[in-house]
Amino acid sequence: MPNLRPKRAGGKSHADVTSRDKIEEDGTLLQNGPQIIKRILRVLSAREIHRVSGVCRTWQKYAALVLKERRRVLTIITSKQNRRRTEREVIVDNPETKRFLRDLDMDCGLAIMFREFERRSLDTSPDTSSGAEVEDRMDFEAMDSHLSPSSTVIGALCSTRIFGTSADWSGREQQFPYQGLSALLVPKSLPEGTQISHFSLSLTQAKKMVKSELNRATFAWAYQWPKDQVTKCIIVMAAKFVETQMHQELLSAIRSLQDGDVALAGGVTNEVYSSEFSIDETELYRASEYDDDYDEESEEYFSIMHPAYVGIAFGGENVRAASLVIGEDDRTKESVGKRLTELKAKVEAWGECRQKFGFMFASCSRGRPLIDADNAAAVVFKELMPDIPLTGFFSNGEFGWDFPLPLAQSTKKPKLSDNFVVDCAVTIAIVGFV
């Protein structure tokens, strides 16, 4: 029986049009299929990706691509501490953290770890060799034990609160703020056009650097940085036994060497740590002269045997960076928000980035009216830039400067007399990979 259904204009029947629409629909679906598969895989853990990769060869192909992509992504992890006095939860060596590190499936080359140790009462002697701090330091060693033998762990032990937010693959915030541990994990295989190095300096090494004229060769040696590579951002953490004048001289030398064309942020904390820190024979001989049983000499002994500074440097043609100092004059959430909006504008000027992450160091010595502003800085940061994970700590002195400068100021050569060690401030640095 002939098909009596009337044909549409142009001589095509309803069935022809429906068939064509279906073909176009299927074609669009096939064209977007890889992106859909990748989107699904990116929200799964490494273990789940391995499991679903057996569905078919297509899924296996894109699972391999997503795992390779993920292994080049810097990741921030967070872990909370049980605050009950009768039971002190282990931060790193616990099932949850172990599972996260295993599921991450990353060949980690560097872990930057901020660890809060248990607060003491005011009448407790701040002995740096106390059992509480030794136990906390072992968490750094535990983190190192979960990584490959060639990995490095650096970081800070803090008696004040730390910042930590982590973003999943869709960029949603998971937790913030909290007390415990925050760590930025850096893969050995970095994205194309990026360079990251870490450094640790003894007090003696830092003094030698500022006494001698800091040049590219000295900087490359001290900061483990390629001599011909431009530095885009430096994060510096210092131990509390280092004098403020030392910080000022070191930062002034760095800024002068870089012609002010580098972002920088950092802070002072109780103790800094590096699994690769070592002292030379001269310093070892000096340390042997001190008996650690004497309180009046323990600080000198400690300053020889432990790093004075640790940090990381970022560079490469595909790296972008900006830093900001929120000063004591910014006393309200509105004024803090205004400054952070300036920072957001600098970051947005980079265009699309494969990844962004931030560091924050906030003063713990600000007056009560400003403590809320410190908290507001973190809260407003996440409101304005929710896709940027953040890590850092409350500090006993902050380092940093605004970068890049407004056009009106950018033509001025930075002065060595500028104060780069700021009190009662919040310093922030953001790094992006384009």
Domain spans in the chain, listed from the N-terminal domain onward: 14-69, 71-434
What DSSP designation does 26 have?
H
Spell out the residues 6+ positions from residue 125 whose beta carbon is closer than 8 angstroms to its own.
none
Query: Given a cut of 80, is residue 67 above it in pLDDT?
Result: no
Query: Given a cut of 60, is residue 81 above it in pLDDT?
Result: no
Mean pLDDT score of the chain: 75
Segment 28-44, tens digit of pLDDT: 655 667 778 777 776 67
User: Cα–Cα distances in Å, from 362 out to 86, 400, 407?
Assistant: 30, 11, 27
Segment 318-328, tens digit of pLDDT: 999 999 999 88
For residue 416, the SS3 value is coil
User: What is the enclosing helix (H) or strand (E) of 135?
Assistant: helix 131-146
Segment 246-292, tens digit of pLDDT: 999 899 888 888 888 999 999 999 899 998 887 665 555 555 554 54
Average pLDDT rounded to a whole number, residues 286-301: 52
Question: pTM for the whole thing?
Answer: 0.76
Q: What single string gives the DSSP state of each residue in 32-72?
A: HHHHHHHHHHHTS-HHHHHHHTTS-HHHHHHHHHHHHHHTT
Query: Given a cut of 80, is residue 360 above it in pLDDT?
Result: yes
Given this model, what pLDDT does residue 183 score?
A: 82
Given this model, what pLDDT does residue 374 score?
A: 67
Given this model, what pLDDT does residue 54 score?
A: 76
For residue 1, the SS3 value is coil
- Comparing CA positions, the residue from 322, 318, 315 lying closest to residue 358 is 322
